[in-house]
Amino acid sequence: MFGIIVSAFMLAFGIFLKLTKNPGFVRNKKFAWIFIGIGLVSLIFKILNYK
- Work out the widest C-alpha separation in the chain, in whole angstroms: 42
What average pLDDT does range 19-23 have in this prediction? 85
Task: Compute CA distances 5 → 17, 32, 43, 46, whole Å.
Answer: 18, 18, 9, 10
In the predicted model, what is the mean pLDDT of the chain?
87
Residue 50 has pLDDT above 90, yes or no: no
Q: Helix 2-19 crosses helix 32-49 at what angle (to 10 degrees)?
A: 150
For the chain, what is the domain count?
1
pLDDT score at 22: 83
Whole domain around residue 40: which residue ranges?
A: 1-49
What average pLDDT does range 24-51 have in this prediction? 86
Taking the whole predicted model, whether its pTM rises above 0.85 is answered as no
pLDDT score at 23: 83
